[in-house]
Amino acid sequence: MFEQATLTNGPSGARAWTTFLGLTSQVALVSMAMLAPMVWPQVLPTARFLEALAPPLPPAPPPKPLADEVRKMPSRPGVVRVAFTGGFAMPTHVPKGPIPIIQDEPVGPPIVGIPIGMGGPETGVMTGILRTLGGAVPVVAPPRVATPPARPAPEPLPIRYREGGNVSLGALQHKAEPAYPAIARSARVSGSVELECVVGVNGHIQEVKVKSGNPLLIQAAVEAAWQWVYAPSKLNGNPIEIITNLTFNFKLN
pLDDT at 39: 76
Q: What is the pTM of this model?
A: 0.40
In 3-state terms, what secondary structure has residue 101?
Answer: strand
Mean pLDDT, range 84-103, rounded to an integer:
68
Nearest to 241 by CA among 163, 175, 165: 163
Mean predicted lDDT score pLDDT of the chain? 75
Of 43 and 39, the structure prediction assigns the larger pLDDT to 39
Question: What letter does residue 65 receive in the DSSP assignment?
Answer: P
In 3-state terms, what secondary structure has residue 205?
Answer: strand
pLDDT at 127: 47
User: Taking a C-beta distance cutoff of 8 angstroms, is the pair 240, 158 a contact?
Assistant: yes
Q: Which residue type is seen at 58? A: P
- What backbone torsions phi and psi does residue 148 show, to the nearest 5 degrees? -65, 145
Of 92 and 204, the structure prediction assigns the larger pLDDT to 204
Q: Measure the CA–CA gap between 133 and 87, rounded to whole angstroms.
A: 43
In 3-state terms, what secondary structure has residue 121?
Answer: coil
Check whether 217 has a pLDDT greater than 90: yes
Q: Measure the CA–CA gap between 121 and 123, rounded to whole angstroms.
A: 6
pLDDT at 224: 94
Identify the bridge partners of residue 167 per DSSP, sorted by sequence position. 164
Q: Measure the CA–CA gap between 110 and 88, rounded to whole angstroms.
A: 27
- pLDDT tens, position by position, 183-211: 999 999 999 999 999 999 999 999 999 99
For the chain, domains (ranges, CATH) are 160-250 (3.30.2420.10)
- What backbone torsions phi and psi does residue 104 show, to the nearest 5 degrees? -65, 135
Highest mean pLDDT among 1-10, 70-79, 101-110, 141-150: 141-150
- pLDDT tens, position by position, 113-137: 544 444 444 445 444 454 445 555 5
Of 158 and 124, the structure prediction assigns the larger pLDDT to 158
